[in-house]
Amino acid sequence: MPETPAPDVIVLMTDQQRVGCTAAQGGPDTMPRTDALLAAGTRFERAYTTSPVCVPARTSLLTGRFPTAHRVRQNSTAAHAHYGTDLLEVLRGAGYSLHFSGKPHMHPGPQDFDTYTGPYFHDSGPDPTRSGPSAGDDEDHAGFESWQRDLDHGVANTPTPFPLADQFPTRIVDGALDALEAAPRDHPRFLWVSFPEPHNPYQAPEPYFSMFEDEVPERATDASVLDGMDWRFRWLHRLLEDKRPGSDRDWRRYRANYLGMLRLIDDQIGRLLDAVAAGGRETLVVVLSDHGDFTGEYGLQRKGAAMPDVLMRIPLGFAGPGIASQVRDEPVSIIDVLPTLAERLTGQIPAGVQGRSLDPLLRGEDAPAAEFGSILGELGYGGVSYTETDRPPLHFPYEGASFDELNSVTLGGEMRMLVRGRHKLVVDDRGHDTLHDLEADPFEIHDLAADPGHQQVRAELHRDLVRWMMRAADDLPTGAYTPRTRPHNWRWA
């Protein structure tokens, strides 16, 4: 009997997409093609990132390791990733050709792919003067990119005055289609399509700019809730108000642009899916984001303060051959993608991987509660946390409108998050912890850590957090004393 050929694999990744912004997640109908794709596959309702920062999260995707283990905790340190075998090496070893189009923010570079279209960032595309596979094709895009830079990562109050062809999702899918066309047909293909949107700057051309103006969901919170929350929220809010006074008044425009950007992305995903379907090859598709966005909650924009679910939860789903049509509610993580693909495509999970294979869950099997009952998240650049009154020198000036929400004050020190059932525990390096009931208080405004009725659950979450932190410290088996490798069916007792 002939061996079944390996499926093509496509990863569709957005940047900074908050959960709850599509019809399938209870929001406006922003991504109908993506929702339809995952309706035929498995969507994980409670998926989390390892870190609400781009490069640490993407390094976790590629290595299956927490930031503590892969040692990349800032956007500037991708080159220092510490791992045994990453996703690209797994797929290369399984005979896949490798193709990338979009925003990198990762330790692999153009030399690690057979074709590479990029790099695209949030206000710049590939340099049109360069030669080679990462070069830009059209110097006319420069006007759009200059206009984007003038937004200074803000919110556009008028439609983008450039055609759809200039938008990065369009150009990225163009590159993805070129890669699929050029790839050898006698090998399975891996294609990573990485959109820089709906990350700031928040802009969209018509018809997307106006598409959701009448459907903008009301926000659940504003800056009035900050007095009872972690000081990092207040520090970031004061920075935003000092830099751009009154910017929160634009929260409806901000949300409308954000939703329009999602539909723009989805239309381009539709172009790609149509081409894939026309090719007639079995294809496994993974849909996810690296982390979320405040989208105006707490009076904040972008990200950069603490670990609320609006930043930590991510969309995650799989569609393709052998994947059941279902919605799962186990807490899963971006680190689970590598072991899932590795086990499904090769039958082996590399040593040093800390994530769990979701392959049995994709087939519709029950998940062991001991292994899939909780999940860890991490944040922090190290050192000792600052305090609310600190105002140290930063990598940008306090004067002027420009700022970086990823700064050494709100992201200094260490924070850890543990989600189990309806409860969430967050601790920091100064010994402060908060406890939240996510069902009763999804925006984590009310701290239950001191409530006498919640001390047992608080203690249980602390215990689970310690076990996860031990797991995140797992070494690579490259020394004289080799740790026992976790088997595929490893479960916590």
Is the four-CA dihedral 340, 342, 347, 349 of positive or negative sign? negative
**CATH T-level fold of 8-367:** Alkaline Phosphatase, subunit A (3.40.720)
- pLDDT attached to residue 131: 45
**Residue 488, pLDDT score:** 57
**Domain residue spans of the chain:** 8-367
* DSSP of 163-185: -GGGSHHHHHHHHHHHHHHHS-T
Torsion over CA: 42, 43, 47, 51 (sign): positive
pLDDT, the chain, mean: 94
Q: What tens digit of pLDDT does each residue of 105-134 get?
A: 999 999 999 999 999 999 999 986 654 444
User: What are the phi and psi torsion angles at 17 (to 5°)?
Assistant: -95, 115
pLDDT of residue 379: 98
Distance CA 382, CA 74 (A): 10
Distance CA 344, CA 88 (A): 15
22 pLDDT band, cuts 50/70/90, is: very high
Q: What is the pLDDT of residues 195-206, one digit of tens each?
A: 999 999 999 999
Q: Please report which confidence band the pLDDT of residue 139 belongs to, taking 50, 70 and 90 as the band edges.
A: low
Residue 215 has pLDDT above 70, yes or no: yes
Answer yes or no: is pLDDT of 490 > 60.
no
Average pLDDT of span 36-46: 98
> Please, which pLDDT band fits residue 402 given cuts at 50, 70 and 90?
very high
Average pLDDT of the residues in 443-449: 98
Measured CA to CA, the distance from residue 21 to residue 81 in angstroms comes to 32
- Would the CA dihedral through 43, 44, 45, 50 be positive or negative? negative
Cα(55)–Cα(106) distance, integer angstroms? 6
Q: What are phi and psi of 441, to 5 degrees?
A: -145, 70
Task: Return d(Cα 196, Cα 274) in angstroms, integer.
Answer: 22
Residue found by looking up tokens 């519709």 in the block: 364
Looking at the DSSP bridge assignments, the partners of residue 425 are: 418, 435
Which residue type sits at 102?
G
As a whole number, mean pLDDT of residues 417-442 equals: 97
CA dist list (Å): 282 to 286, 306, 318? 13, 41, 13
From the list 398, 386, 380, 392, the residue with the least C-alpha distance to 239 is: 398
Lowest mean pLDDT among 311-320, 377-386, 467-476: 467-476
